[in-house]
Chain A
Amino acid sequence: MDIVNLLRNLSQASGISGYETEVRDIVRQALEPFADEFRVDTMGNLIATKRGRTPAGAPRRSIMLAGHMDEIGLIVKDIKDGYPRVTDVGGIDHRTLLGQEVIVHGKRKLPGVIGSRPPHVLAPSDYEKPVPWDMLFIDTGLPEESLREVVQVGDLVTLRREFLELSEGYVSGKTFDDRAGVASLAVCLEMLAAMNHTWDVHAVSTIQEETGLKGATVAAFGLSPDIGIAVDVGFGAQPGVSPEESIKMNEGPAMAIGPNVHPLMQARLAETASKYEIPMQKEIIPGGSGTDGWAIQVARCGVPTAVLSIPLRYMHTSVETLNVKDVERTGRLMAMFISGLDEAFASQLGL
C-alpha cells in the first residue's frame, strides 16, 4: 500500500465533525479491496467488515477498530463588514489561523484567506496581543453582495493545506488527527488479506470524535464487539513540549496504559510487538484518553479496550507532522494482534 498517497488523499479531503461525507467516500475507496462488507450507520460511521474464518463449532467473535475521520475546522457565525466571521468546531488555537488559507463550503466551494492588517499600520503594542476570534475574518475576494449569494451563517470552513513530504519519511498536512489512524486501519486490513484470522474485524472510520466521541459511542453499541482498539494520535516530541508530555517520533505507536485499557489487552499487544519486533512505546494516560476508546470501553456491558497513539507533532494545526513508518507500524501491530486472536484469549478475557 502506498501509505503516503493514502495519507495525502485523506488529508486533503474535507470532513468537519458532523459533515464527513466527502472524506467517507475517500476512505471507502481505500478500503474497498480489503473488506467483505461496508455499512454506513445512522450517524454516518463507515463500518468496513472483514470476516474471519471461524472454526466449526467456535463462537463468532469480533474486534472493533476505530479511527476517526472527522476533522477540526471553522464555522461561519456572522457576515460582518462584508467578511465571513468564524468560530471553531473542535479545539483550534486562533493564533495559528492568521495568514492561513481556507475553503468556505458555501453553495459552492470558495477559496479564501484569513486576513490580517499589515505591519505598516500597526502600533508596536499590537504585536503583543493575539488577534482575537471576533477580529478574524475571511477574504474570498468577493464583494459583499456576491458573497452573500454563496455564503451564509452556518457554512463550514476547512483549513486548506497541501500535503507536504518532508525528509526521512516525515510528512506534514492537516487533519492527520485522525486520518492517520484511518490510514492505519487500511494498512491493517491489507495485511490481514494475506493472513489467517478467525475473528471478524470491523474497521470503523468514526464520525464526530472531536466533538465528544459520538460516532464511536453508537458504532460500538451497534456492533457489540468482543474487544476494541482505538487508534488516535499522540503528542509527539517537538520543540516546546517536554519529554514528560510527549511520546517519541518514529519509534512506533504508543500503547496507552491506564484505566482506559484492559490489562490483558495491554499485555497481549506488548507481546505481539515484541514477538514481531514492531517498535512500540508506552504512554501513561491516568484517566480519560479522549479517544474513541473511551466510548468503546463502556458500550453495552463493557468492552475490553486498548488505545494506540500515532506520534504526531503540532496537533490541531494545519501542519500536523508525523512519520509514515509509525502509521505502517500501527497497522502491522494491529494485524499481527488480530491474527493471534483465539478462544484461549477470549476465555482469558472472560468473554
Chain B
Amino acid sequence: MLLKELSEARGVSGNESAVRELLLKNLDGVIDEHRVDALGNLICLKRAKLPAATGAPRTVMVAAHMDEVGFIISGYNSDGTLKYERVGGIDKRMLLSKPVLVGEKAVPGVIGFRPIHLIGRAGTEKVADISQTAIDIGASGKEAAAKLVQPGDYVTFRTSFEVLSEDGLRAAKGKALDDRVGCAELVEVLKGDYAFDLYGVFTTQEEVGLRGARVAGYRVNPDVAIALEGTVCDDLPKERDRDVSPVTELGKGPAITFRDGSVICDRRLVKLLADTAEAEGIPYQYKRGAVGGTDAGAMHLVREGVPSVVLSVPCRYIHAPVSVLSLNDFENAIKLLRAALTKLEGGLDA
C-alpha cells in the first residue's frame, strides 16, 4: 500500500528526498515529464489527453506537501546523548518517551525523561521543557555519538503504519499522514486523463511556511490550483467549558475548505467540489474553523493570483508521533477530486 510506504518514509522539512524518490518510483509510466526545482519540489506534468472546451482552464496545479514535522540535531551532551530542536509545529508535551530515527542512516534513538520515582506526583503537574530532554542513541560519549550522528541530521518519529480496523470507518494509524495522504491521493489523480495540462506538484517545506508551493506555483503559473491536505480533525473529548468546533470529523468524507488560516478559497472552486460530491453521491464535509495554513495560501498569491481551493482528509492527532485517518475518507477524496477535475474541463462558472 503506497500510503503505508509514504507514511513510513522519512522527510522532515528541508530534507524531503527520500519521499521524493519513493514518489518518482511510483509515478514511472504515469507522468509525461518531471523536474526537481531549486527548493526540492517534485513537479510532474501530465499533458492534456482530451480535447478542451473553450474557456476551460489550460493548466491546473494540484499540490500535496512531502515534508513532515520533526526534529534536527543541534549538538551533543557530554554523556553521548543528543541535543535537538523542533522543525515545524510540535506540541512540546508530545516529546516524552518516544522512539525516533536520526539522520540518513536512520540511527534509532529514544527521547527519555527523568523517572517518576525521582519526580513525585506533584512534579508531574508541570510541563517538561525540551531542554530537559535529550535523544539517546546508546552512545557512551560525545565522540562515540559523533561517529553516528552529526549536528544538522534530521530526526523523525519512528512509527509504523497500520490499519486499526478493517470495517466501519476503516481507521488507520501512522506518522506524517499530514500530508502523505495528500501525496498518495495525488499519485492516483495523476493516473487519470484530463483536458488540461495537469501539474501534480509534491511540495517541500510546507510545515515551515508554505515555501515550496510558492516557487512551484510561480513556475507552473496555473489557471487553477488545488491543495490536498491531511487536516485537523478535532472530533475529540474536550474539557467541558470549551465550546469549540471539531474542525472536521473522521469518516464523514473529505473536507472542503472555504477558508483556513492562510487563504479564503475561491468560491467557484468550493462550489465545484460540493456540487460534484452531491452529484456523485460522495460524502463530504466542510472544514469548520479557519485553523492551519496550506499550500493554497501560497499558490493563490502567485504572480497575479490564482483561484485556489483545498481538499482535505481529516486526520486526528496531526503533528504528533502517530495520527489516525479513515481509509474511507482517503478513497472518497480521490473519487471526489477526479470527478471535480473532469467537471472543471467545462470551465469555471462566473
Query: Separation in Å of the A94 CB from the closest CB of chain B?
Result: 6
Q: CA of A165 to CA of B171 in the docked complex: distance in angstroms?
A: 30
- Whether a CB of chain A sits under 8 angstroms from the CB of B220 is no
Beta-carbon contact of A239 and B134 below 8 Å:
yes
Q: CA of A110 to CA of B326 in the docked complex: distance in angstroms?
A: 17
Beta-carbon contact of B116 and A172 below 8 Å:
no
| Closest residue on chain A to residue B89 by CB atoms | A119
- Whether a CB of chain A sits under 8 angstroms from the CB of B55 is no
Query: Separation in Å of the B225 CB from the closest CB of chain A?
Result: 22
Residues on B with C-beta less than 8 A from A119 are 89-91, 319
Query: Separation in Å of the A8 CB from the closest CB of chain B?
Result: 14
Contacts A116-B317, A168-B138, A314-B113 given; does A245 touch B118 at CB 8 Å: yes
Q: Of residues A130, A166, A169, A241, which shows the largest number of chain B Cβ atoms within 10 Å of its Cβ?
A: A166
Q: Which of B298-325 contact A (CB under 8 A)?
A: 316-322, 324
Query: Separation in Å of the A291 CB from the closest CB of chain B?
Result: 12
Beta-carbon contact of A122 and B324 below 8 Å:
no
- Whether a CB of chain A sits under 8 angstroms from the CB of B144 is yes
Q: Which of B126-145 contact A (CB under 8 A)?
A: 126-128, 132-134, 136-140, 144
Task: Give the interface segment out of B8-16, B17-25, B95-103.
Answer: B95-103
Beta-carbon contact of B132 and A116 below 8 Å:
no
Beta-carbon contact of B92 and A127 below 8 Å:
yes
Residues on B with C-beta less than 8 A from A137 are 236-237
Task: Give the interface segment out of A10-18, A139-147, A212-220.
Answer: A139-147
Query: Separation in Å of the A162 CB from the closest CB of chain B?
Result: 8
Contacts A99-B322, A121-B234 given; does A115 touch B138 at CB 8 Å: no
| Chain B contact residue count (CB 8 A cutoff) | 73
Residues on B with C-beta less than 8 A from A249 are 140
Residues on A with C-beta less than 8 A from B81 are 238-239
Beta-carbon contact of B133 and A240 below 8 Å:
yes
Query: Separation in Å of the B163 CB from the closest CB of chain A?
Result: 9
- Whether a CB of chain A sits under 8 angstroms from the CB of B77 is yes
Query: Separation in Å of the A312 CB from the closest CB of chain B?
Result: 9
Residues on B with C-beta less than 8 A from A318 are 97
- Whether a CB of chain B sits under 8 angstroms from the CB of A68 is no
Beta-carbon contact of A164 and B94 below 8 Å:
no
Beta-carbon contact of A131 and B93 below 8 Å:
yes
- Whether a CB of chain B sits under 8 angstroms from the CB of A81 is yes
Q: Which of B97-130 contact A (CB under 8 A)?
A: 97-99, 107-119, 124-128
Residues on A with C-beta less than 8 A from B168 are 141-143, 146
Q: Mark B320-350, 1 if CB is under 8 A from A, else 0.
A: 1110101000000000000000000000000
Q: CA of A135 to CA of B236 in the docked complex: distance in angstroms?
A: 10
Beta-carbon contact of B318 and A118 below 8 Å:
yes
Q: Which of B93, B115, B317, B326 contacts A130 (CB 8 A)?
A: B93
Q: Which of B99, B114, B126, B165 contacts A240 (CB 8 A)?
A: B114
Beta-carbon contact of B164 and A111 below 8 Å:
yes
- Whether a CB of chain B sits under 8 angstroms from the CB of A275 is no
Residues on A with C-beta less than 8 A from B99 are 161-162, 164, 172, 319
Secondary structure at the A interface, as helix, strand, loop or mixed, is loop
- Whether a CB of chain B sits under 8 angstroms from the CB of A237 is yes
Beta-carbon contact of A101 and B173 below 8 Å:
yes
- Whether a CB of chain A sits under 8 angstroms from the CB of B239 is yes
Residues on B with C-beta less than 8 A from A146 are 165, 168
Q: Of residues B111, B113, B322, B324, which shows the largest number of chain A Cβ atoms within 10 Å of its Cβ?
A: B113
Q: Which of A307-346 contact B (CB under 8 A)?
A: 313-319, 321, 323
Q: CA of A80 to CA of B236 in the docked complex: distance in angstroms?
A: 11
Q: Of residues A116, A122, A169, which shows the largest number of chain B Cβ atoms within 10 Å of its Cβ?
A: A116
Q: Which of B92, B134, B291, B320 contacts A121 (CB 8 A)?
A: B291
| Closest residue on chain A to residue B171 by CB atoms | A141
Residues on A with C-beta less than 8 A from B110 are 164, 166, 172, 314, 319, 321
Query: Separation in Å of the B155 CB from the closest CB of chain A?
Result: 14
Beta-carbon contact of B117 and A115 below 8 Å:
no
- Whether a CB of chain B sits under 8 angstroms from the CB of A277 is no
- Whether a CB of chain A sits under 8 angstroms from the CB of B247 is yes
Q: Of residues B99, B133, B160, which shows the largest number of chain A Cβ atoms within 10 Å of its Cβ?
A: B99
Beta-carbon contact of B118 and A235 below 8 Å:
yes
- Whether a CB of chain A sits under 8 angstroms from the CB of B292 is yes
Q: Which of A289-310 contact B (CB under 8 A)?
A: none
| Closest residue on chain B to residue A235 by CB atoms | B115
Q: CA of A92 to CA of B55 in the docked complex: distance in angstroms?
A: 64
Q: Which of A117-173 contact B (CB under 8 A)?
A: 117-122, 127-131, 135, 137, 139-143, 146, 161-162, 164-172
Q: Mark A87-106, 1 if CB is under 8 A from B, else 0.
A: 00001111111111100000
Beta-carbon contact of B90 and A169 below 8 Å:
no
Residues on A with C-beta less than 8 A from B261 are 120
Beta-carbon contact of B124 and A95 below 8 Å:
yes
Residues on B with C-beta less than 8 A from A92 are 116
Beta-carbon contact of A99 and B321 below 8 Å:
yes
Q: CA of A245 to CA of B291 in the docked complex: distance in angstroms?
A: 45
| Closest residue on chain B to residue A97 by CB atoms | B97
- Whether a CB of chain B sits under 8 angstroms from the CB of A83 is yes
- Whether a CB of chain B sits under 8 angstroms from the CB of A73 is no
| Closest residue on chain A to residue B261 by CB atoms | A120
- Whether a CB of chain A sits under 8 angstroms from the CB of B278 is no
Contacts A93-B124, A168-B144, A240-B133 given; does A319 touch B116 at CB 8 Å: no
Contacts A93-B119, A115-B316, A164-B99 given; does A140 touch B127 at CB 8 Å: no
Residues on B with C-beta less than 8 A from A166 are 108-110, 136-138
Residues on A with C-beta less than 8 A from B112 are 238-239, 313-314, 317, 319, 321
Residues on B with C-beta less than 8 A from A97 are 97
| Closest residue on chain A to residue B326 by CB atoms | A141
- Whether a CB of chain B sits under 8 angstroms from the CB of A261 is no
6 A-B pairs (CB sep. < 8 Å): A99-B317, A115-B317, A116-B320, A121-B234, A172-B108, A241-B114
Task: Rank and list the top 7 A-B pairs by shortest CB-CB distance, nearest first.
Answer: A141-B171, A170-B138, A166-B138, A314-B112, A141-B164, A96-B97, A319-B110
9 other A-B residue contacts (CB within 8 Å) besides A99-B320, A141-B165, A170-B136:
A98-B91, A98-B94, A115-B316, A118-B91, A121-B289, A164-B99, A168-B144, A170-B137, A172-B138
